[in-house]
Amino acid sequence: MQSKAFKITEEQIEKLRPYLPDIDELIQDYSRFEIRLDDAIIDELDENYEDTETSVMLQKLYDEIYDQND
């Protein structure tokens, strides 16, 4: 995907804001957003690198946003 603004809903933005405090800036560049969201998902894995409720929720949002911009 190109580095430009992309489709994301206000609801998705608000769900992500606690994990990506600079989301307003990140949504201007899909590449940066994607990398930072991926990092946030990894940060929410447990000590054994297993999914947590939060990492699953973030992955679901990642997948939704990806599909919206496919």
Q: What is the mean pLDDT of the chain?
A: 93
* 1 domain residue, yes or no: no
CA 70/CA 51 separation, integer angstroms: 25
* 5 domain residue, yes or no: no
At 5, the pLDDT band (50, 70, 90 cuts) reads confident
The pLDDT value recorded for residue 4 is 60
Instruction: For 45-66, give one letter per residue: b (16+ CB within 10 A) or e.
Output: eeeeeeeeebbebbbebbeebe
* 4 domain residue, yes or no: no
Coil/strand/helix, residue 43: helix
* 2 domain residue, yes or no: no
Question: pTM here?
Answer: 0.89
Structural domain count, the chain: 1
22-49 tens-digit pLDDT: 999 999 999 999 999 999 999 999 999 9
| H-state helical runs in the chain | 10-16, 23-26, 30-43, 53-68
Compute how many other C-beta atoms are within 10 angstroms of the C-beta atom of residue 70.
7
* 32 domain residue, yes or no: yes
Question: What domain range is 31 assigned to?
Answer: 10-68
The pLDDT value recorded for residue 2 is 43
* 58 domain residue, yes or no: yes
* 23 domain residue, yes or no: yes
